[in-house]
Chain A
């Protein structure tokens, strides 16, 4: 729900509630005032009649009008005076019963008792009330309508800078701090300034971290290179001594492994820092085919059956990452397929599935993509291959899953 919708809902509900309560109150007050006015004029009439009778000791001549009429009836005993009240009387002229305000009081003239009833029609009052209520309701409606449109326009304009900021954040990349405009509205201005400052800080930290990893990489690779080259040189001079040669080769292997491990960790860091963008059109089919071309003889030597079913697939990705992704998955497949087993590669526009025969049952689906996970007693590889694959998938917006069925490992990467 949009903030505006939420705000509007609350606003309109409150407005209607207030208007309804207000209208009821207004009606009651107005009604009270009008009735009081009627009552006052009834009492004025009473005083007039009483005054006349006291002065002249006879009944006055009464001129009735359409809205006020007085009845004087002789009575045996003095009637009990009552407060003004409303009764419904049939009005022959209008052919309907209408509310009438009535005041009954006794008088005594010429020694006889009379009951006087003063009637005043409330129709006028009712009509006035109706009119007033009609005006009030229309005002409420108009107010709400105008309120809605004004709010809609105004709020949309007011929020525009906010939406601009959101759009900028959505496109934010680590490499570049945000440069949001300073807005005259205080809140938005504060938000933009804070975001600018924050991304500036993030960027600085990021650059520092990046140069640290780069320098660390350089500083570590250089001694490794020295070891590596010295071993290679030693190998030439120690050629006659079998034990030395074996030890030197072991050192060389270890150096190589360490260097590779380090490069893999560096790659993972870069992937996590989103230093690659999947913004190239990559022909995945070509990547797979060229990899297979490169490793064909190796597949042959392990007597691995290969089934390839690839559609032409070109998708937005990163060339280098595509090569690493395919390489890591297929290298694993070759490494863990027992001699005489088979590897199946299926590529469609929706997904890439790599299936290979398993030697030792299912892999641990919980830990599979964790760093330094190695299946069973395996000592080969860095244990980072699948972690890298997963990070690459994450970066490209792919989804990777693993299934084990019918003694086969299956890795599925869904694009989209």
Chain B
């Protein structure tokens, strides 16, 4: 899986590249409009992570160029401008997703995975992590061939853990993933706790090991070897 990271802020670019590389993707970072154009011309990527404000041009015109060329690369726009119009314009131009800075790397990883599933497996992908099998299309979960009944939020939560397995996820990141930007994070932390408790119970009841552990009560981590 090859990704192109177009982001002029070097620190950001590096963090994104490191994180996604650790998740098993091959990442190529570029920092300017011109370099990005060159890369797009010569290669095909499974997913492109695109900043809107770039030195030398707008990310939106890169997107336009990409779609004119009928390239099938998946595109996630990351922008500091949370403007609704920008978002709508980006999505209208054919971007697959839109993230407003600042975002969580775990969230980005989640979105990348979703796009790759849509593109490469027509959304039919089954993800496995240890004994857990998740059918992302049917939204069903099996542990050792045993079906596990999950609520919608529990399913979202499990998918988030599985995609970001072996990483520490802060409560903040989890809350933002489950309830979006408008959520009042602090008051949702207790709720996350009870959700995770239920999720662990359900997986163990189906015969799975206890994959999710708490990190000093501040975050959570799914351990899958």
A residues apposed to B, CB below 8 Å: 214, 217-222, 224-230, 232-233, 235-236, 239, 242, 245-246, 249, 252-253, 255-256, 259-260, 263, 266, 294-295, 297-298, 301, 320, 323-324, 327, 331, 334-335, 380-381
Contact = CB atoms under 8 A, between A and B. Distances in A.
A225 B173 CA distance: 13
B101 A298 contact: no
B157 to A, nearest CB: 11
A246 B103 contact: no
Contacts of A227: 102
A226 B12 CA distance: 5
Contact of A228 (B103, B179, B187, B219): B103
A226 B106 CA distance: 14
A235 B168 contact: yes
Nearest to A243: B216
Contacts, number: 119
Contact of B170 (A220, A252, A259, A297): A252
Interface in B44-102: 53, 80-84, 100-102
A246 B101 CA distance: 23
A341 to B, nearest CB: 14
Q: Which 6 A-B pairs have the closest CB atoms?
A: A221-B80, A225-B102, A228-B102, A229-B15, A225-B101, A218-B80
B167 interface: yes
Given A214-B81, A222-B12, A297-B191, A380 B184 contact: yes
B104 interface: yes
6 contacts: A222-B9, A229-B12, A229-B19, A232-B170, A233-B15, A256-B172
Contact of A224 (B84, B102, B151, B190): B102
Given A245-B218, A334-B187, A222 B15 contact: no
Contacts of B219: 235, 245, 249
Contacts of B151: 297
A229 B10 CA distance: 12
Contacts of A263: 82, 181
B102 A259 contact: yes
A225 B10 CA distance: 12
B172 A252 contact: yes
A2 to B, nearest CB: 42
B18 interface: yes
A221 B18 contact: no
B137 interface: no
Given A217-B82, A256-B102, A380-B184, 14 more contacts: A214-B81, A218-B80, A219-B80, A221-B101, A225-B80, A229-B105, A230-B11, A233-B19, A236-B167, A236-B168, A249-B170, A249-B171, A323-B182, A331-B182
B215 interface: yes
Interface in B171-214: 171-173, 176, 179, 181-188, 190-191, 194-195
B16 interface: yes
Contacts of A331: 182-184
Contacts of A294: 179
